[in-house]
């Protein structure tokens, strides 16, 4: 049996390039699927979908479906998701400061 490692636990949520980009976009506010796809350059529909599912399962992101035609689905960060933001900000700061060293 593996010992629980909080560091590894957290890493599992943010180790994906796409996940952190999604969290950053959603930190600006609620956003529709299509809007996310446009804002995150290079992401495919499949990858966006699977990453959003993953984030939803882990309660970092909330999904709201409006039963209209055409479909409308909105995504937003939960409080738990928002609580990751300081970590991402710190990582971003480190990148700015140490790029190219």
Task: Please state whether beta strands 31-32 and 72-77 pair in parallel, antiparallel, or not at all (unpaired).
Answer: antiparallel
Closest contact distance (angstroms) between CB of 47 and a copy of itself is: 15
SS3 55: helix
Q: For binding to DNA (CB under 7 A), which residues are involved?
A: 16-18, 32-35, 42-47, 49-53, 63, 70-74
Question: 1, 6, 28, 67: which one contacts a copy of itself (CB under 8 A)?
Answer: 6
Residue 25 or 74 having the CB closest to a copy of itself: 25
User: 59: alpha, beta or left, given left = phi > 0 and alpha = psi -120 to 50?
Assistant: left
Structure-block tokens of residue 89? 């900000």
Structure-block tokens of residue 90? 């710190």
Q: Which residues bind a copy of itself (CB under 8 A)?
A: 3-11, 14-17, 20-21, 24, 41, 59, 80, 83-84, 86-88, 90-96, 98-99, 101
């Amino acid at each position: 049996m593996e010992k629980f490692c909080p560091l590894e636990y957290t890493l599992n949520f943010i180790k994906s390039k796409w996940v952190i980009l999604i969290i950053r976009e959603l930190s600006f506010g609620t956003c529709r699927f299509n809007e996310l796809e446009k804002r995150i350059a290079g992401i495919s529909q499949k990858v966006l979908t699977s990453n959003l599912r993953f984030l939803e399962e882990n309660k970092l992101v909330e999904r709201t479906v409006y039963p209209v035609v055409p479909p409308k689905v909105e995504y937003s960060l939960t409080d738990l998701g928002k609580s990751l933001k300081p970590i991402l900000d710190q990582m971003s700061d480190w990148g700015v400061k140490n790029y190219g060293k």
